[in-house]
């Protein structure tokens, strides 16, 4: 439990029971912060925080971000990391209205909390704001092309609105805000039903079934290990640049190569089979991280092999077989 007399810097992490948020809580505690995690557990999981329950510098606040937060948090707040938002298609397509409400009102309430406490505010946005992937890596100065009325429009537009709202608070109230655009991230505690190729291969390896590669497996993916993504968010919080800044891996990795890495790590019994590709296979975005390197001195440091090995080892230790 976080005490009011504790002089350590206080970080609030919304969505802290999620995959990325729980790792951010770990890193903040390791760096000497007090941490308050705010989550309603609609998409987050209590198991992601089980190891922190007895940590004296950690407080779990089960609240919906559609409600005001300021009165729930006594004492000063130094930084608010806003990660609360449905991120998997299985979540945000289920109820598009709820997605837009939580992402818009939730961001508003998180910003109001940071404003009331004169805290730094860091928005974890998404590469989805760029729209369909092109041939070149996505740069921060690229204007996104998003269709607000397609099936995914509620998610895309709500995240774009969150960026616009964060920018409006910065310019109107002279707040210290920052925006990080997170690209595809993987690692321990990731959801195995997020629709990505890594989660599918990990799930299949755990079940002892063949790893299914669609088509020839030449499709490109960008994979950033979760520890590297967290380091990027921390560097963004510590700096003064408002963003947006891309946080992800610029390395282009073919899907078949990912399957080969997982199969090698899983053991000699692992098998790879090729299956019919989907009718529409969306191209993966890759970030240009020149800005992150120049302004934050940040770049991913974990190789795909090492990251996949750590991920599979964690799931095996945890005996997780499903999402």
Instruction: Point out the residues that are catalytic.
Output: 155
Q: Beta strand 253-254 with 220-221: parallel, antiparallel or unpaired? A: antiparallel
Q: What are phi and psi of 45, to 5 degrees?
A: -130, 135
Name every residue whose Cβ is closer than 8 Å to that of residue 253 and which is 6 or more positions away in sequence. Answer: 220, 221, 222, 223, 304
- Residues 237, 230 contacting (CB under 8 angstroms): no
SS3 126: strand
Token reading at 37: 């995690």
141, exposed or middle or buried, with CB in 10 Å at 0-12, 13-18, 19+? exposed
Q: Among the residues of 39-152, which ranges form H helices? A: 89-92, 96-116
Q: What are the Cα distances from residue 200, in Å, to 83, 193, 211, 321?
A: 24, 8, 8, 11
- Residues 97, 60 contacting (CB under 8 angstroms): no
């Amino acid at each position: 439990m976080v005490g009011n007399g504790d002089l350590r810097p206080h970080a609030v992490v919304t969505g802290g029971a999620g995959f990325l948020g729980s790792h951010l809580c770990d890193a903040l505690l390791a760096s000497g912060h007090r941490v308050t995690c705010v989550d309603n557990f609609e998409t987050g999981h209590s198991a992601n925080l089980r190891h922190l329950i007895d940590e004296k510098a950690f407080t779990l606040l089960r609240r919906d971000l559609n409600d005001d937060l300021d009165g729930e948090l006594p004492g000063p707040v130094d930084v608010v990391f806003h990660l609360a938002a449905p991120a998997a298609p299985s979540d945000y397509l289920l109820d598009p209205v709820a997605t837009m409400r939580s992402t818009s009102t939730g961001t508003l309430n998180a910003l109001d909390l940071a404003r009331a406490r004169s805290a730094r505010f860091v928005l974890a946005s998404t590469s989805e704001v760029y729209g369909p992937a092109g041939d070149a890596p996505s740069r921060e100065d690229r204007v996104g092309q998003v269709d607000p009325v397609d099936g995914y429009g509620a998610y895309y537009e709500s995240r774009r609105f969150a960026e616009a709202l964060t920018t409006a608070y910065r310019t109107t109230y002279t707040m210290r805000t920052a925006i990080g655009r997170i690209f595809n991230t993987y690692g321990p505690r990731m959801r195995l039903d997020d629709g990505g190729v890594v989660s599918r291969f990990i799930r299949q390896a755990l079940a002892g079934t063949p790893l299914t590669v669609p088509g020839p497996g030449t499709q490109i993916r960008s994979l950033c290990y979760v520890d590297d993504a967290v380091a990027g968010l921390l560097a963004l919080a510590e700096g003064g640049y408002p963003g947006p800044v891309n946080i992800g891996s610029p390395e282009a990795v073919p899907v078949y190569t990912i399957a080969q890495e997982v199969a090698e790590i899983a053991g000699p019994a692992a098998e790879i089979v090729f299956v019919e590709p989907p009718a529409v296979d969306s191209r993966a975005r890759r970030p240009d991280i020149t800005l992150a390197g120049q302004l934050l001195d940040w770049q991913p440091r974990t190789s795909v092999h090492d990251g996949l090995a750590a991920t599979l080892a964690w799931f095996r230790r945890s005996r997780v077989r499903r999402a």
